[in-house]
């Protein structure tokens, strides 16, 4: 097994029965902690007629109330705090699409647990203290920057806290500081590829060897593209602000399409997104997470809105912690266009299978005379771009046909020249909904 120096075999390769034992012990404590200290939880428990004493087996987690973004908004900013504010040493926040952000606090203990989780997933990718890590996430309310920073530092890596943006400066830092790991969203990594190529940066000769990407889906197409252009190993880690941030799951070197969940810190469930009812292992559904070791903002049964499958089958790397499929779809990403349900990931799947199409696109929705219209701006790769109108129009028809087969409605497709779709330094924005709601 490939190991970093933060590999914890006693936890990460523990027999499943032992993992469940650890989880139950922690769950009982966590539930009592939330009940005793947070009025919101006590009231919900009261309504459901339960107390912490009802949690006797892991499956009893299903008796507990769900939490979601709405609860955090309703109790904004400190309503779910389980400790005096004096004990909270950090806040992070996530801005949703509307209204106030959601805010999460951390005690000193919470920060320690969080950086342990991150150090573990970083080590899983083969990164060690000998690596020099360049951070391209912003250091701000977003959890990506500080979360991965402290995890890598715990592992003993040299951190280069460059922050987001200023791509040319990033390229200079790779060259001058001989950094070996890049942390960013996969879409920013693609942007860096382009800027580097335009400036004649020699990716093949560069010191960079691993990308630690996350914060948004990294499709197989993006991964192939980044690996081929940057000449690095592209890895993908998952997390969300409400349950600390990055650190929930990460890729080992054996299961490259899945992520191990840190099960000693997170209890996972997969539920039917409509009914909230539990689904059997292996079925696709919404991931629900319960933090098992959180002091400041305990989070029980948090509805992530992320669709995935989880398996506890043994992994070739030897780790026994469950693996989740990479998240491609959020239940709340669904667009309804003229009564048809469309997920951006469907558009992406079609586009990435067409030769000559770059991994950059934008879905624009508007309505004309009361009818929804969906326009898909598709960027072409330089070698597919042409001056010939006929050639482009033929290509456009082909893209429309392929999209129609998948989406079951006919989108307007606009082919745009290389570099035309706006690049982002953080999470990429794929959808622009300009519809006037009546």
Cβ closest to ligand DLL, residue 75 vs residue 184: 184
**What's the min distance (Å) between Cβ of 162 and ligand DLL?**
15
- The CA distances from residue 232 to 125, 185, 226, 327, in Å, are 12, 15, 8, 22
Q: Which of 35, 114, 201, 238 binds ligand DLL (CB under 6 A)?
A: 238
Cβ closest to ligand DLL, residue 30 vs residue 241: 241
**What's the min distance (Å) between Cβ of 262 and ligand DLL?**
13
CB 318 within 8 A of CB 363: no
Cβ closest to ligand DLL, residue 328 vs residue 362: 328
**Which uninterrupted H or E stretch holds 171?**
helix 167-177
**Residue 366 CA to its chain's centroid (Å):** 28
Q: Which of 12, 236, 293, 379 binds ligand DLL (CB under 6 A)?
A: 236
Which among 73, 71, 70, 82 has a CA at the least distance from the CA of 39? 82
Cβ closest to ligand DLL, residue 67 vs residue 143: 143
Which structure tokens are listed for 196? Answer: 């580097």
Cβ closest to ligand DLL, residue 294 vs residue 326: 326
| Cα 30 from Cα 52, distance rounded (Å) | 9
CB 411 within 8 A of CB 351: no
Please give the radius of gyration of the chain, using alpha carbons only, rounded to the nearest integer: 23
94 binds ligand DLL (CB under 6 A): yes
Q: How many residues bind ligand DLL (CB under 6 A)?
A: 20
* Range 321-380, binding ligand DLL (CB under 6 A): 326-327, 330
395 binds ligand DLL (CB under 6 A): no
| Cα 151 from Cα 130, distance rounded (Å) | 14
Q: Could you tell me where the beta strands, DSSP code E, fall in 145-298?
A: 158-160, 181-184, 210-214, 233-240, 245-250, 258-261, 266-271, 285-291
**What's the min distance (Å) between Cβ of 264 and ligand DLL?**
19
**What's the min distance (Å) between Cβ of 283 and ligand DLL?**
19
**What's the min distance (Å) between Cβ of 38 and ligand DLL?**
21
| Cα 390 from Cα 385, distance rounded (Å) | 12
144 binds ligand DLL (CB under 6 A): yes
- The helix/strand count (H/E) of the chain reads as 11, 21
216 binds ligand DLL (CB under 6 A): yes
Cβ closest to ligand DLL, residue 214 vs residue 411: 214
**What's the min distance (Å) between Cβ of 164 and ligand DLL?**
12
**Which uninterrupted H or E stretch holds 366?**
strand 357-368
Task: Report the 10 Å Cβ neighbour count for 70.
Answer: 10
**What's the min distance (Å) between Cβ of 62 and ligand DLL?**
22
Q: Which of 237, 258, 290, 320 binds ligand DLL (CB under 6 A)?
A: 237
**Residue 418 CA to its chain's centroid (Å):** 27
Cβ closest to ligand DLL, residue 87 vs residue 325: 325
214 binds ligand DLL (CB under 6 A): yes
246 binds ligand DLL (CB under 6 A): yes
- The CA distances from residue 203 to 171, 284, 403, in Å, are 10, 38, 34
Instruction: List residues bridging with 234 in a β-sheet.
Output: 211
Length of the chain: 438
**Per-residue exposure over 106-138, b if at least 16 CB sit within 10 Å of its own CB, e if not:** bbeebbebbbbbbbbbbbbbbbbeebbbbbbbe
Stretch that binds ligand DLL, among 7-15, 48-56, 234-242, 352-360 (CB under 6 A): 234-242
**What's the min distance (Å) between Cβ of 245 and ligand DLL?**
5
Q: Which of 4, 105, 215, 298 binds ligand DLL (CB under 6 A)?
A: 215
Cβ closest to ligand DLL, residue 94 vs residue 207: 94
CB 33 within 8 A of CB 293: no
241 binds ligand DLL (CB under 6 A): yes
* Range 277-306, binding ligand DLL (CB under 6 A): 304, 306
Binding region for ligand DLL (CB under 6 A): 94, 143-144, 214-217, 236-241, 245-246, 304, 306, 326-327, 330
């Amino acid at each position: 097994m490939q190991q970093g120096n933060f590999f914890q075999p006693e936890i990460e390769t523990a027999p499943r029965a032992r993992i469940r034992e650890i989880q139950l012990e922690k769950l009982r404590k966590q539930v009592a902690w939330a009940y005793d200290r947070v009025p919101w939880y006590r009231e919900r428990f009261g309504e459901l007629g339960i107390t912490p004493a009802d949690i006797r087996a892991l499956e009893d987690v299903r008796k507990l109330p769900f939490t979601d973004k709405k609860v955090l908004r309703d109790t904004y900013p400190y309503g779910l705090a389980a400790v005096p504010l004096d004990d909270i040493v950090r806040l992070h926040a996530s801005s949703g699409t509307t209204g106030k952000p959601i805010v999460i606090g951390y005690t000193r203990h919470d920060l320690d647990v969080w950086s342990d989780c991150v150090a573990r997933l970083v080590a899983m990718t083969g990164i060690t203290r000998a690596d020099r890590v360049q951070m391209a996430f912003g250091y701000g309310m977003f959890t990506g920057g500080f979360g991965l920073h402290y995890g890598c530092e715990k592992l003993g890596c040299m951190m280069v806290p460059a922050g987001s943006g200023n791509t040319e400066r990033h390229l200079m830092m790779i060259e001058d500081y001989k950094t070996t790991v890049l942390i960013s969203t996969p879409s920013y990594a693609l942007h860096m590829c382009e800027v580097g190529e335009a400036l004649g940066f020699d990716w093949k000769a560069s010191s960079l060897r691993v990308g630690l990407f996350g914060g948004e889906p990294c499709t197989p197409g993006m991964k192939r593209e980044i690996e081929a252009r940057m000449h690095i190993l592209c890895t993908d880690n998952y997390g969300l602000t409400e349950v600390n941030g990055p650190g929930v799951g990460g890729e080992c070197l054996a299961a490259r399409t899945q992520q191990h969940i840190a099960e000693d810190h997170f209890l996972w469930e997969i539920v039917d997104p409509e009914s909230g009812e539990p689904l059997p292992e292996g079925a696709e559904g919404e991931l629900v997470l319960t933090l098992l070791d959180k002091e400041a903002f305990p989070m029980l049964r948090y509805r992530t809105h992320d669709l995935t499958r989880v398996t506890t089958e043994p992994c070739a790397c030897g780790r026994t912690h469950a693996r989740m499929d990479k998240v491609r779809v959020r239940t709340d990403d669904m667009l309804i266009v003229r009564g048809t349900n469309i997920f951006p990931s469907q558009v992406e799947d079609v586009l990435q299978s067409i030769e000559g199409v770059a991994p950059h696109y934008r879905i624009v929705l508007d309505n004309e005379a009361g009818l929804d219209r969906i326009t898909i701006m598709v960027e072409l790769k330089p070698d597919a771009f042409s001056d010939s109108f006929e050639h482009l129009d033929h290509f456009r028809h082909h893209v429309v046909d392929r999209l129609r087969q998948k989406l079951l409605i006919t989108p307007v497709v606009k082919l745009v020249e290389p570099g035309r779709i706006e690049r982002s330094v953080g999470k990429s924005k794929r959808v622009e909904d300009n519809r006037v709601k009546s």
